[in-house]
Structure 1
Amino acid sequence: MAIVPFPLKLVERRMLAPSVGHYVFLRDDGQPLDFIPGQFIQVHFQYADGTATKRSYSLATIHDHRLGPGEAVEIAVSYVPGGAATALFEGLPPGGHVQASGPFGRFCLMPNDHNQRYLLIATGTGVTPYRAMLPQLAQAIAERGIEVVLLFGARTPAELLYGEDFRAFADAHPNFRFVPCFSRGLPANPHPDVRQGYVQQHLAEFAPDPARDIAYLCGNPDMVDTCFEALKAAGLPIPQVRREKYVSSK
């Protein structure tokens, strides 16, 4: 089955961190982008020599899918010095267009999950799919009483992508703990759930339990591999550990 790209029109851009932008698009062909939180789209473009290429971006859109397909298409874009995709996004004016395809991927919450807790672990833009999952998590908390722990690794407070969204969600949902882990300095007056160091150093604090947990790992490949081994050592079977690695590409 051929992949048919569709146009996206830029309607908003803001900086999430010194080198990460949040982009809001509308699909400009009159069709909705019906996606499952955790999926990604691919943006198509060309190198300077005309060679076709594409980059994958997890969808950050917060949308209650009980209301039907959403209109906004939101992604987080890491700027890579000298990168072709970076040049495309930095130079895109409001109202400008990119071609995209998708959605793709299976890094999603499963409707038949019967776990008691989700361990969501991320670094950098790997946290993006968890933002899109917030309405589903709210529903699971309300209907099943599940607990959720989000361990999110960033170098500094300025690089805590969507931190305000996750902290507000945690404040509104006592079963949701947001645990930022900073490797290079803490914020002033840190929240009690803030930790210093890397996420893999703090995973054991939450006592992963194969009888009750399903874990999601997204972001830096070294973090994903290290946490995967730690979760296996704690007894979690492989189907209860869902992984997606992220590498910034030029």
Structure 2
Amino acid sequence: MVASAEKQEIVVNLYRPNAPMIGQCVETYSIVGEGAPGLTKHIVLSLPDPRYKYLEGQSVGIIPPGEDAKGKPHKPRLYSIASTRFGDDGQGRTVSLSVKRAEHVDKDTGEPGVGVCSGFLTDLKAGDEVMITGPSGKTFLLPEDETANLILIATGTGIAPFRAFIKHLFEEDPNYQGNIWLFFGVPTSSTLLYQGDLEAWKAQYGDRFRVDYAISREQQTADGKKMYVQNRMAEYGSELWEMLQKPNTYTYICGLKGMEDGINSFMAPLAEQAGQDWSKFQKELKRADRWHEETY
């Protein structure tokens, strides 16, 4: 968890765009299965400055090399951190990212292209230099409550901060006593990022860790439509509503913005049945720091 003393010492914007830190790619590998649509990689970067410390839920800025169309240096792109505060090296001297290669077709020329930063990152080889800014963000951190029960909702690379959350709480925090329930939405089975880790945690921690997948191109709802993460959650609507009534339940949402409307659409009638207004109740959860969204 994040103790109050740690929150006071959170490092933010130690390195800025005009003077970034120069790290190196330590390791990079694909985290999608064979035949997956698109490429997503786990990328480990070195942090040469020991003052660069981060917590689970923060983001790191990456400045791709070169210049933009106006001849100016590229602005940093923010990526949620996929490693715990100790890094994948266990020493806190690395930071890990989950990066999907953004591919598109130029409307005018019909030529294929890739995102400036995602293309740069997914092309990295061990030893390549990377301009790093940050760390950034204070709003997506873990709670202080060691009995907290977490509802984690992710799509695609939105799983990145939750890999960090789960690994830290179960493997690094001996005082954590709560449970974690993850809902993870992806298009195909081959794009279930970190599935090996998730299944290992499920096997090791039993009832303390639940995971439900929504695989939109392979699974269907009861009425024959595509199974998105909000549809999978709706199957457990009453149980989720009951959990949200407890003061030690914290919800985190990371990924595509579209899922927010889907979540609201099945939570609203549940709230109404309980004589409450969902939008008001959700605002209360946010004010109490029990509902966090990081969507794009």
* Both structures adopt the same fold (TM-score exceeding 0.5): yes
Instruction: State which of 80, 93, 117 in structure 2 corresponds to 1:58.
Output: 80
- State how 1:1-250 maps to structure 2 within 5 Å: 3=16, 4-17=19-32, 18-27=38-47, 29-31=48-50, 33-45=52-64, 46-47=66-67, 49=69, 50-51=71-72, 52-64=74-86, 70-81=92-103, 82=113, 83-106=115-138, 107-112=140-145, 115=148, 117-138=149-170, 143=175, 145-174=177-206, 175-185=208-218, 197-204=227-234, 205=236, 206-208=239-241, 209-212=243-246, 213-228=249-264, 230-231=266-267, 233=271, 235-236=281-282, 237-239=284-286, 240-246=290-296
Which ranges in structure 2 are unaligned for 5 or more consecutive residues?
1-12, 33-37, 104-112, 220-225, 272-277
Distance 1:9 1:64, change over 3 A: closer
Distance 1:180 1:32, change over 3 A: farther
Q: Following superposition, which runs of at least 4 residues in structure 1 exceed 6 angstroms of deviation?
A: none
Describe the SS at the equivalent of 1:207.
helix
Describe the SS at the equivalent of 2:54.
coil
Q: Identify the range of structure 1 (29-38 vs 161-170) with the bigger mean alpha-carbon deviation.
A: 29-38
Distance 1:141 1:179 in 2: 24
CA apart distance, 1:141: 8.6
> Greater CA radius of gyration, 1 or 2?
2
Which ranges in structure 1 are unaligned for 5 or more consecutive residues?
187-195
- Contact 1:39–1:103 at 8 Å: present in 2 too? yes
TM-score by length of 1: 0.82
Q: Percent identity?
A: 27
TM-score by length of 2: 0.70
Greater per-residue strand proportion: 1
Distance 1:200 1:11, change over 3 A: same
The root-mean-square deviation of aligned C-alpha atoms, in Å, is 2.8
- Contact 2:54–2:85 at 8 Å: present in 1 too? no
| Residue-pair matches, total | 234
Distance 1:61 1:150 in 2: 17
